[in-house]
């Protein structure tokens, strides 16, 4: 009797646990058909801009979009499972990730561009430090360890550099920022190829700090430190940033126009049927800032719900037309104008064939 009672209770408890589990996932999807019209999840980097867009779009059309900035990886996972209507990512999905998506092909819709800047704490410096990809790579690989190393000095003639140690600070959490930075080093510095690119890599040197604010905080506090953060974060916090030599041989300080210029250089050479999984690091063009990247909204090509699908398409078209000009106010770089029609053409290929 006692044992039976126990067994019943355990079953009940397990059932409750399961029930709770189901209802929590159910509520997140059911809410999308209630007061919220579309749900999305993904990258944290474009979140400030996206939330501004969603806000304005809701005021204009009444269509509410709920976006959770849980990180690109989480966004890709949720979209693959079909628990959100769209995802967002700072790095393009790999072929393996695309193959795992449960509801057919996924389109990459570039929205804006971001850039990664090198910030440092060398109190003696007044002008921006000049750096090149091979030198950045060797600093972050721990091969250049002193600020007055001959290779840094030769890029900065006339600047008196201290003889102190360089402390490398990188992101400890998986991040699109790290992806863009390592994508650039892999593309532009042969010595980095062994380490490779990714949202997290096996760093040979330095400290890991969590988030842009972690890296910036550590760099600010430690004389001799160097790190990388997003352009928007650096600008809003007025961090010192380095000028980086681009493919055309010019030292460029990151700015919104310089980032758009990088995309423009690449956009010219885009094939007509591109899937927009393109990298713009180390882009050609005299004004291009080389550590730049698109950020993407990810959507299924064959929408399963024609009502939601149409809302999503409408929103994307609105964002590409009216949202883009607002990007610079939040330090994001808009798409180059010659690229927008191509992206809109891609949005037009979304159909509702998945609908039941």
Q: Does 290 bind another protein (CB under 8 A)?
A: no
**Contact 235/172 with Cβ under 8 angstroms?**
no
**Contact 170/228 with Cβ under 8 angstroms?**
yes
Q: Is 222 left (phi over 0), alpha (psi -120 to 50) or beta?
A: beta
DSSP secondary structure string, 290-322?
Answer: SSEEEEEEEEESB-S-HHHHHHHHHHHHHIIII
- Shortest Å, Cβ 116 to another protein: 16
Q: Give 237's strand partners.
A: none
Q: Does 162 bind another protein (CB under 8 A)?
A: no
- Shortest Å, Cβ 3 to another protein: 13
- Shortest Å, Cβ 76 to another protein: 6
Q: Which is nearer to another protein, 16 or 353 (CB)?
A: 16
Q: How many CB atoms lie within 10 A of CB 185?
A: 27
Q: Which is nearer to another protein, 164 or 306 (CB)?
A: 164
Among 57, 203, 233, 332, binds another protein (CB under 8 A): 203
Q: Which residue has the tokens 């059309």?
A: 61
The token pair at 112 is 């804006």
Residues 13-42: x/- map of binding to another protein (CB under 8 A)?
A: xx-xx-------------------------
- Shortest Å, Cβ 80 to another protein: 9
Helix 133-140, helix 176-188: angle, nearest 10: 120
User: How far is the C-alpha of 301 from the C-alpha of 258, rounded, in Å?
Assistant: 32
Q: Does 173 bind another protein (CB under 8 A)?
A: yes
User: How far is the C-alpha of 221 from the C-alpha of 311, rounded, in Å?
Assistant: 47
Q: Which is nearer to another protein, 126 or 221 (CB)?
A: 221
Among 40, 74, 290, 309, binds another protein (CB under 8 A): 74
User: How far is the C-alpha of 105 from the C-alpha of 148, rounded, in Å?
Assistant: 51
- Shortest Å, Cβ 14 to another protein: 6
> Exposed (0-12), middle (13-18) or buried (19+): which is 126, by Cβ within 10 Å?
exposed
150: Cβ–Cβ under 8 A, 6 or more apart, which residues? none
Binding range to another protein, per CB under 8 A, among 11-19, 108-116, 131-139, 342-350: 11-19
Binding range to another protein, per CB under 8 A, among 50-58, 119-127, 198-206, 348-356: 198-206
Q: Does 82 bind another protein (CB under 8 A)?
A: no
Q: Which is nearer to another protein, 218 or 246 (CB)?
A: 218
Among 77, 235, 311, 346, binds another protein (CB under 8 A): 77
Q: Does 97 bind another protein (CB under 8 A)?
A: yes
Binding footprint of another protein on the chain (CB under 8 A)? 5-6, 9-10, 12-14, 16-17, 70-74, 76-77, 94, 96-97, 165, 167, 172-176, 196-203, 206-210, 214, 217-218, 221-222
């Amino acid at each position: 009797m006692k044992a039976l009672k126990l067994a019943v209770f355990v079953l009940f408890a397990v059932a409750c646990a399961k029930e709770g589990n189901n209802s929590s996932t159910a509520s997140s999807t059911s809410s999308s058909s209630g007061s919220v019209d579309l749900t999305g999840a993904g990258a944290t980097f474009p979140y400030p801009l996206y939330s501004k867009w969603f806000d304005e779009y809701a005021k204009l059309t009444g269509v509410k979009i709920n976006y959770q900035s849980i990180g690109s990886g989480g966004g890709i996972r949720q979209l693959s499972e079909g628990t959100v209507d769209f995802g967002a990512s700072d790095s393009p999905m790999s072929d393996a990730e695309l193959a795992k998506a449960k509801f057919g092909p996924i389109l990459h819709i570039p929205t804006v561009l971001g850039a990664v800047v090198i910030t440092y704490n060398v109190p003696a410096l007044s002008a921006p430090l000049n750096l090149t990809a091979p030198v950045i790579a060797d600093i972050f690989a721990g091969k250049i360890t002193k600020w007055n190393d001959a290779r840094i000095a030769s890029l900065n003639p006339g600047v008196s550099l201290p003889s102190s140690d360089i402390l490398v600070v990188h992101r400890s959490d998986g991040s699109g920022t790290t992806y863009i930075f390592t994508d650039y080093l892999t593309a532009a510095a042969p010595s980095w190829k062994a380490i490779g690119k990714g949202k997290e890599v096996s760093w040979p040197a330095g400290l890991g700090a969590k988030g842009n604010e972690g890296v910036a905080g550590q760099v600010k506090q430690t004389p001799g430190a160097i790190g990388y953060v997003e352009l928007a974060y650096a600008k809003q916090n007025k961090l010192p940033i380095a000028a980086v030599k681009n493919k055309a041989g010019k030292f460029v300080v990151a700015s919104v126009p310089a980032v758009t210029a990088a995309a423009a250089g690449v956009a010219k050479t885009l094939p007509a049927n591109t899937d927009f999984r393109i990298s713009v690091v180390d882009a050609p063009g005299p004004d291009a800032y080389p550590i730049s990247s698109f950020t993407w909204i990810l959507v299924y090509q064959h929408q399963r719900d024609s009502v939601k699908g149409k809302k999503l398409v409408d929103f994307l078209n609105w964002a590409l037309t009216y949202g883009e000009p607002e990007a610079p106010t939040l330090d994001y770089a808009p798409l180059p104008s010659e690229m927008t029609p191509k992206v809109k053409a891609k949005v037009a290929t979304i159909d509702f064939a998945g609908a039941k």
